[in-house]
Structure 1
Amino acid sequence: MSEKSASKRLYYLDSLKYIFCLIIFWTHFTGAFWTMCEIKPDLRPELQALFLPPLSILVDSNLALYGFCMLAGYLAAHKKISSLKDLLVQFITRYIRFVIPFFFINLISFVIYYTIGFPTVISSQLLNNSWIGTFYNHAPTLSGLITASLTMSGELNGPLWMMKYIFFGTCFIFLYNFVRELIEKKASSGSAAAVIIYDIICLLCMIYSFFHLPEPNFFHFHLVLMGVVLMRINEHIQKGNNFMFLPVAIVPVFLDAGGLTNILFPYIHAHFPEMSKYFIWNMYWVIGFSFFLILGIIHSPALQKALEIKPLRTLAPSNFSIYLIHFPLITCFSLHLYILMVNRISYSKEFIILAITTFTALFVIAWIYENTVGKFQNRMIKKINDTIMKTICL
């Protein structure tokens, strides 16, 4: 892959990750103030339309979360690892790239807890939302802060729980790439057949383990591994202006945004009732939606151009900062603002004010974080990684 094509690829994939992060933010925001409330607040019908198809796709982060995991695996799959030293370096530097940002956002959450505070418990009671009450409901300790950072726990920032699956998934991909490279070198004339056999064995192992998970959330690890499947499929697809991939990307979005539940399922139920149980919305469908959405975009120049418009290209690099800060922002700023307004104005007005101010704060704080803490943590990562490289090369 040329430098030019690699650069182009990163532009639209960064934009896609940015959109995924915004969807995850909106899902958590609406989860706090509507979707996760056991007794729904008195919200005007026009605003309730935000939670109905097709806008329902924006308040269920599964499509975005699964896609985020697959993109991480897809990008990791392009890493060339030709020696044990390279493999070791990738493991260590990858860990550093996760742990340092974890530490800084956890430190910020730690400071917020003991200063401004997270009013999750009282908000949980006011909103009849037990979900939001599960966060920041006990005092964190300094040792807990360090442990949560080193183990990539979501204790101080709920949504970060899934990053450990991305970390282990990408490390597993590095190991897969190393062994594959080794086979190509050792097998000489029969390398093509040996590599194919290796890929098939790895794929079968992945499929088997997917249905024998050690714990429910472990399938996110497999989502990362699906990034390798994406790359291998791409190797057999001819590049060019192939318009057939436009519907490959658009149809999954249509199905996830209500098409499966409101159109496809009723049709199957009416004409093929024995098959209808397979057309109920579930995680397997959403995994397919995410996979084909990404596959379609990777091979659709029209969609790539749409994702490379200047505003998105400007904002997209802050996608990780958006992900890091969005939940402490909701559980601190948004909930504090809600408590100030509760029972003073209608809930519909509260919701509109909360949505507008939280979105505005998200963009502003993400920009500040990216250009202060983000730059500092990136310098730290680079310095630590450079030190590791020098030490290993000695």
Structure 2
Amino acid sequence: MENKRQNYLDGLKAIACIGVFLTHFYGAFMNPQLSETVTYLGSDLLKVLLDGDFQIGIFCVISGYLAAKSAIKTPAALVKKSLGRYLRFSLPIFFICLVIFLIEKMLGFYNGEAGRTLGNSWFAGYYSTPHTALDLFTSPFFKLWFMADDSFSGPFWMLSYMLLGSLLTYLGSFLMEKFPKLHLVVFLVLTAAAFFIHYVTFACLLGAGIGWFIREVRNGKGLNYLFTVLSVLILWLVHSGHMQLLPKISPEAYLSGKFVLDGYFKAFYAALLLICLMGTKWIKLFLGLKPMAWLGRLSFGVYAFHWPVICSFAAVLFTALYGTMDYTAMYGILFAVSVLMTFGISWLFAKYVEPVCSVTIGAVLKERLKK
């Protein structure tokens, strides 16, 4: 049962990370010269899949849900869990940054030139400052977490908030063990804190709340089906814009520098989606298929590597091909190259680097327990 559950969550993570990849590729090379069919796919038919905030919400809700799985009964266990989470982020990211550093020095990033050609300042704005060898160590182990450094890969911007969400989840699991009669109070206080930190952290706590709830209360099938039907209807009608239950607020609408209302709504939608899937067996079976599980194992690599691949391999091809052929045909070539390079690098990373990281982290945590 545990493997099946894990597999369907891996499949959902795969779809979310692929969605982020598609969002960034579509946004980077979007141009009026694209055919109406491609434009329609991006702006209407695949609107939900090409919503980066929604995909991040899915990824973070799953992260929080998984982090809430195990009980944490002692301060030592809390420290071990927290240190382990930091290392499981930092050590793989160190090797990811190393790969990106090698790409930068051997090929270079051409997104600046490509972005200026397309009049896309967002695309052109990344990788304007070369990285140094010192950055390889300071970014993955310090600056990424305490200074929101996303210079190696733009999607890294949310990882510090995601780590904080995991730490709050571990703290919540510990407090619930210490104060069994105050579970609801602990959840509400931590979720309120996450709400005012960032919507990414909030999404993690929503997922943790689902995990805590399932761990303690087993609902009947009828209630599960009711939640499924209602959640699917709300998710589809609201997010597709067919039913304005919530005000339409753009990502640029701020109450403060971090308070992006659109992101909070989409974190809520992502939590609803997870609840939907828990009561929908045929979708879980699809997400648990071996190809989906395989993609799920590559999901973090896809999330981390797709942006530097787009800004290097795809962008240099763009500068060579732009104006020499039909734009839609060129767009297809750039997409194929981006997919092959992103998934190829991610597969190599998952096969050879992640096992080394797991063994190293296990050894570090074992030594920590001896002290």
Give the TM-score normalised by structure 1. 0.83
1:25 aligns with 2:21: yes
Give how far 1:200 is off.
Answer: 2.6
1:12 to 8, 22, 29: 8
Alpha-carbon distance between aligned partners in 2 of 1:285 and 1:105, rounded to the nearest angstrom: 31
The 1:226–1:48 alpha-carbon spacing in structure 2 relative to 1, beyond 3 Å, is: same
Q: Counterparts in 2 of 1:272-311, with a 5 A limit?
A: 278=247, 282-311=262-291
CA RMSD of aligned residues (A): 2.3
Q: Which stretches in structure 2 are left out of the alignment for 5+ residues?
A: 251-261
Kept in 2, the 8 Å contact 1:105–1:324? The answer is: yes
2:49 to 31, 37, 58: 58
Find the counterpart in structure 2 of residue 340 from structure 1: 320
- Partners of 2:234 and 2:28 in 1: CA distance: 27
Query: Is 1:147 matched with 2:138?
Result: yes
- 1:56 counterpart SS class: coil
Inter-partner Cα distance in structure 1 for 2:97 and 2:111: 17
Structure 1: gaps spanning 5 or more residues: 35-39, 185-193, 266-275
The answer as to whether partners of 2:322 and 2:330 remain within 8 angstroms in 1 is yes
> Which residue in the other structure is 1:254 paired with?
236
Greater alpha carbon shift after TM alignment, 77-86 vs 380-389: 380-389
- Give the alignment partner of residue 333 of structure 2, picking from 353, 356, 366: 353
Shift of 1:130: 0.7
Tell me if 1:244 matches 2:251.
Answer: no
Distance of 2:7 and 2:314 partners within structure 1: 31
Superposition deviation, residue 256 in structure 1: 6.2
Structure 1 window deviating more from structure 2 (363-372 vs 230-239): it is 230-239
Report matched runs for 1:298-337 at 5 Å. Answer: 298-337=278-317
CA spacing shift, 1:365–1:107, aligned 2, 3 Å: closer
Quote the residue 1:388 is aligned against: 368
Task: After TM superposition, give the deviation of residue 209 of structure 1 in Å.
Answer: 6.0
Q: Please tell me the residue identity of whatever aligns with 1:81.
A: I
Distance 1:132 1:279, change over 3 A: closer
Q: In the TM superposition, what whole-angstrom CA distance separates every residue of 1:242-268 from its partner, at most 9, and x where no partner exists?
A: 54344345335533663x2xx223xxx
1:318 corresponds to which letter in structure 2? L
Q: Which residue of 2 aligns with 1:264?
A: 243
CA distance in 2, matches of 1:318, 1:131: 27
After TM superposition, the structure 1 = structure 2 runs for residues 101-250 of structure 1, keeping only pairs within 5 Å, are: 101-151=92-142, 152=144, 153-184=149-180, 194-196=181-183, 199-200=184-185, 202-204=187-189, 206-207=191-192, 210=195, 212-213=196-197, 218-234=198-214, 235-240=216-221, 242-248=224-230, 250=232
TM-fit CA distance, 1:387: 2.6
Deviation at 1:66, TM superposition (A): 0.7
> Does the C-alpha gap of structure 1 residues 223 and 156 become closer, same or farther in structure 2, counting only changes over 3 Å?
same
Bigger Cα displacement from structure 2, 97-106 vs 151-160: 151-160
Deviating runs (4+, > 6 A) in structure 1?
Answer: none
Change (3 A) 1:100 1:297: same
| Counterpart in the other structure of 2:258 | none
Indicate conservation of the 8 Å contact 2:57/2:200, yes or no. yes
Query: Larger radius of gyration, structure 1 or 2?
Result: 1
What CA distance in whole angstroms lies between the structure 2 residues aligned with 1:370 and 1:159?
18
Alignment CA distance shift 1:296-1:382 (3 Å): same
Q: In 2, Cα distance between the equivalents of 1:29 and 1:224?
A: 26
Q: Is the 8 A contact 2:10 2:296 kept in 1?
A: yes
Task: Report deviation, 1:278.
Answer: 2.9
Q: What letter is aligned with 2:338?
A: T
Residue in 2 that maps onto 1:88 = 79
Q: How many residue pairs are counted as aligned between the two chains?
A: 353
Native 8 Å contact 2:165 2:194 kept in 1: no
| Superposed displacement of residue 62, structure 1 | 1.4
- Alpha-carbon distance in 2 for matches of 1:128, 1:162: 26
